[in-house]
């Protein structure tokens, strides 16, 4: 068996310990005689799995008691609709456009109410985070929406926007559990787990309790109401049970690693190796404004599309997979999520050095 260094933006690398443990439990989960995939989501055994997952996530993020944790389906993209359907009480919301995911969320919200794009970094191909200290927040805005880490472009908010008292809603799909967060600063935090936590098919929503009401847009389907899932403890219908089980294992892995403070230190150390190399390189360069650089997604280019393609192909042959940039931006992107070991980044950097010497 040969595992590669997988720099995919998502679905992405998971901790090897977690995968091994899941493999050991595949045929017989702790004496049940069946796999977690095969058991009733109403069973005592699964109840323990989902409750422990929630408790561990609460501990990791320090989630206060007045926030609900929901394990849902439909990916992050379904939240683009669920958020306006459930939160647009006045029919107004402000969106900050820092990339494709924020733009898609904004476009979806336009179907349901008066969504406004109050800031954007589209003018420079989303290579920076706009100044959000004094934005024209609408007086009637039900919330202000951000995409906190921009997976495709490699930018990250280092300070949250001044929402002037409005609720902050954040898509953290690609920076989930990469560093400590102050949950109380948000009304709703959500993310698809396939970037930094688990297998595709689960989206986690952390929502302040007072925002979960029956007062939703008319015709909102039962399945798309937060209240439906909050009232049922994420067991209104069959949840993505196996995915939740793997997420639970990743939460325990993170706790063992020292929690989110330790994770942040590790992620900073890892990202610094790559960014320092890019800053000193005569061939490669990073595409993001330095102060807005993501710790999770690192886009870079040579400035020559043919050379970029050559690099991606030679890197793949050397065991560094999925380094091709998003189809909309080209170049390269190394996603270095929690589960990417530091050796992976060290070896990639050494490989880039070699490539530079051979191609300069
Ligand atoms: C991947 C991604 C999405 C889309 O996730 P799906 O689960 O495929 O819908 C949304 N937002 C961000 C920030 C992402 O990285």
- pLDDT on residue 292: 98
CB of 101 within 6 A of ligand 1: the answer is: yes
Let me know whether 244 and 108 are in one domain: yes
- pLDDT on residue 360: 87
Q: Which residues pair with 116 in a beta bridge?
A: 94
Atom of ligand 1 nearest to the CA of 78: 9
Let me know whether 229 and 288 are in one domain: no
Catalytic residues: 101, 171, 195
Ligand 1 centroid vs 359 CA: distance in angstroms?
Answer: 35
pLDDT digits (tens, 9 = 90+) for 159-172: 999 999 999 999 99
- pLDDT on residue 129: 98
- Report the CATH number that the domain containing residue 288 is assigned in CATH: 3.90.1150.10
pTM exceeds 0.95, yes or no: yes
- pLDDT on residue 11: 98
User: Which 8-state DSSP code applies to residue 211?
Assistant: G
Return the SS3 of 345: helix
Q: Which domain holds residue 35?
A: 16-256
Ligand 1 centroid vs 131 CA: distance in angstroms?
Answer: 24
Let me know whether 252 and 281 are in one domain: no
Cα 266–329–175 angle (5° rounding)? 30
CB of 225 within 6 A of ligand 1: the answer is: no
- Alpha-carbon distance 187 to 200, whole Å? 24
Atom of ligand 1 nearest to the CA of 203: 7
Do the Cβ atoms of 334 and 340 come closer than 8 Å?
no
Could you tell me if residue 237 is inside a domain?
A: yes
Let me know whether 140 and 59 are in one domain: yes
Which stretch of DSSP H or E encloses residue 80?
helix 75-87
Residue closest via CA to ligand 1's atom 13 equals 173
Ligand 1 centroid vs 244 CA: distance in angstroms?
Answer: 17
- Report the CATH number that the domain containing residue 149 is assigned in CATH: 3.40.640.10
pLDDT digits (tens, 9 = 90+) for 179-204: 999 999 999 999 999 999 999 999 99
Residues of the chain whose pLDDT is less than 70?
A: none
| Structural domains in the chain (count) | 2
Could you tell me if residue 184 is inside a domain?
A: yes
Could you tell me if residue 53 is inside a domain?
A: yes
Let me know whether 232 and 97 are in one domain: yes
């Amino acid at each position: 068996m040969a595992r590669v260094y997988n720099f995919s933006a998502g679905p992405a690398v998971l901790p090897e310990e977690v995968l091994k443990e899941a493999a050991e439990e595949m045929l017989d989960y702790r004496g049940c005689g069946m796999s977690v995939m095969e058991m009733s989501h109403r069973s005592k055994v699964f109840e323990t799995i989902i409750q422990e997952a929630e408790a561990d996530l609460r501990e990791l993020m320090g989630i206060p008691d007045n926030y609900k944790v929901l394990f849902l389906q439909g990916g992050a993209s379904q939240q683009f609709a669920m958020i306006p359907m459930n939160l647009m009480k006045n029919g107004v919301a402000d969106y900050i456009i820092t990339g494709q995911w924020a733009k898609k969320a904004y476009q979806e919200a336009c179907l349901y109410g008066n969504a406004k794009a109050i800031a954007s970094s589209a003018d420079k191909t989303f290579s920076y985070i706009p100044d959000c200290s004094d934005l024209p927040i609408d007086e009637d805005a039900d919330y202000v929406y951000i995409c906190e880490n921009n997976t495709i472009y490699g930018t990250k908010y280092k300070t949250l926007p001044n929402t002037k008292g409005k609720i902050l809603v954040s898509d953290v799909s690609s920076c989930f559990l990469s560093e400590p967060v102050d949950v109380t600063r948000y009304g709703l935090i959500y993310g698809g787990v396939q970037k930094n936590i688990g297998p595709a098919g689960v989206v986690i929503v952390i929502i302040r309790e007072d925002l979960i009401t029956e007062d939703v847009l008319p015709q909102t389907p039962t399945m798309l109401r937060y209240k439906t899932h909050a009232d049922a403890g994420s067991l209104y219908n069959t949840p993505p049970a196996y995915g939740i089980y793997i997420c639970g294992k990743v939460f325990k892995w993170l706790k063992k690693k020292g929690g989110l403070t330790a994770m942040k230190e590790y992620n900073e150390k890892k990202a610094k190796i790559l960014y320092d190399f890019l800053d000193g390189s005569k061939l490669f360069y990073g595409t993001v404004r330095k102060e807005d650089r993501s710790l999770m997604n690192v886009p870079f280019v040579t400035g020559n599309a043919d050379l970029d393609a050559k690099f991606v192909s030679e890197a793949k042959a050397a065991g560094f997979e999925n380094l091709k940039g998003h189809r909309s931006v080209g170049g390269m992107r190394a996603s270095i999520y929690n589960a990417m070991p530091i050796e992976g980044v060290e070896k990639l950097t050494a490989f880039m050095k070699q490539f530079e010497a051979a191609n300069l």
